[in-house]
Amino acid sequence: MKVGEFHDSNRKIVGRTVLHHDVLESTNETAKELLETDIEEGLVVWADRQVAGRGRQGRAWASPAGGLYVSIILRPKEAHAWILGLLIGMPVVKALRHFGVFAGLKYPNDAVYQGRKIAGLLCEGVYRRDVYHVVAGIGVNTNVDLDKLPPDVQPNATTLKREVNLFVANDEFLDYLLNQVDDLYSRYRNTRVEFLLKDYRGQCTTIGKRVAATTSKGKMTGRAYDIAANGALVIMDDAGGKHEFVEGSLEVLK
């Protein structure tokens, strides 16, 4: 059920309108349904909890009450839209740092703190009525007790509540986050994407680490070495061969 609607006309595109729900199956799904209507770019769907939250690679995203679950509707040009999904990790990390968790960015767009995931992003490109849209779904473990997450997730996850003594309300976190995403999106629209990828590279803590990448082609280990112009993670294997990783699962090795 919709419990509120907020407007902020100071924002450029992202978050001028926020639709707040108590519970949804998945904010990404609701956002996609809204694409059937004439809705403004930058509209945000926010839910207090999700009963069918989705993660990348067909995984579920545990979405208990206390966490922050939002989806943002964007209409970028299709050309670099996949890279936009990487870049939105930056404002998420920035918001976490602002509220006291010195998170880093694990490729492609996970926010992690001391190796434990605290936020994730699911960006989906969809055509509706011949127009390309991106639904950028962001899930942040804000006011969640770790034991409310599934047992298999707990060892590799953390929450803002666990890491910071100060209580941070979700609406306050969301307000800051949306300001940051709005800034990023206007830079994305007005700046060459290679400049933004340079920023991303500087914030991506996977660079320089040993990683194990599993893709449809199999598993390989090596050192994460660079971000390619297409946004791929360049991994150098132990024989000096370079590989570009975009899709699959990536483990950062100790």
Which residues would be at the binding site for ligand BTN (CB under 6 A)?
Answer: 26-28, 50, 53-56, 59, 61, 69-71, 110, 120-122, 137-139
Q: How far is the CB of 188 from ligand BTN (least distance, A)?
A: 20
Helix (H, G, I), strand (E, B) or coil at 91: helix
Nearer to ligand BTN, 221 or 249 (CB): 249
Q: How far is the CB of 71 from ligand BTN (least distance, A)?
A: 5
Helices (H), the chain: 27-34, 81-87, 89-98, 160-163, 170-190, 193-203
Nearer to ligand BTN, 11 or 54 (CB): 54
Return d(Cα 157, Cα 67) in angstroms, integer. Answer: 13
Q: How far is the CB of 127 from ligand BTN (least distance, A)?
A: 19
Nearer to ligand BTN, 42 or 120 (CB): 120
Q: How far is the CB of 203 from ligand BTN (least distance, A)?
A: 17
Nearer to ligand BTN, 82 or 225 (CB): 82
Nearer to ligand BTN, 124 or 199 (CB): 124
Q: How far is the CB of 162 from ligand BTN (least distance, A)?
A: 18
Q: What's the token pair of residue 20?
A: 């707040």
List b or e across 45-75, with b for residues whose CB sees 16 or more CB atoms inside 10 angstroms: bbbbbbeebbbbeeeebbbbebbbbbbbbbb
Q: Nearest to ligand BTN by Cβ — which residue?
A: 120
Q: What's the token pair of residue 194?
A: 């290679």
Q: How far is the CB of 26 from ligand BTN (least distance, A)?
A: 3
Give the DSSP H/E element, type plus range, for residue 18.
Answer: strand 17-24
Return d(Cα 242, Cα 141) in angstroms, integer. Answer: 35
Nearer to ligand BTN, 122 or 177 (CB): 122
Return d(Cα 157, Cα 141) in angstroms, integer. Answer: 9
Q: How far is the CB of 177 from ligand BTN (least distance, A)?
A: 12
Is 120 in contact with 71 (CB distance < 8 Å)?
Answer: no
Nearer to ligand BTN, 122 or 207 (CB): 122
Q: What is the dihedral of CA 214, 216, 243, 245, to 10 degrees?
A: -70
Sign of CA dihedral 128, 133, 134, 135: negative
Q: Which amino acid is at 202?
A: G
